[in-house]
Amino acid sequence: MARFHTTENGDVPFTQAEEDAADAREAIELAAKPLHDWEMQMSQIDAKEIAGLARTIEDLLDANPSILNSKPQAYKDNHAARKILRAQRPV
């Protein structure tokens, strides 16, 4: 697909070098999209954090599941959702 610069004199086609550079940028963005989408999902879960469920706290709960038993159900649900999503992290 041809790309153009819009100028006051009308549309000017990209040079081959500009086309190649734009194709390379698009390929990088496309390759990064799965990780970006995953990071957005993680940030949405982080926004719903209950009582500061930071990664270090996650690790502590994983090592000591009995601590999690005393927490509210919403806290447990958040922890479980983060573990599931973390396991799905794209490479």
Output the tens digit of pLDDT for each of the chain's 91 residues.
689 999 999 999 999 999 999 999 999 999 999 999 998 888 877 666 555 567 777 888 888 888 888 888 888 888 888 888 888 998 8
Separation between Cα atoms, residue 37 and residue 90, nearest integer Å: 9
Q: Tell me the two tokens of residue 6.
A: 């819009």
Query: What pLDDT is recorded for position 91?
Result: 80
Q: Quick one: which of 80, 44, 36 has its CA closest to 62?
A: 80
- Tell me, what DSSP letter sits at residue 56? H
Q: Cβ distance 49 to 78 under 8 Å?
A: yes
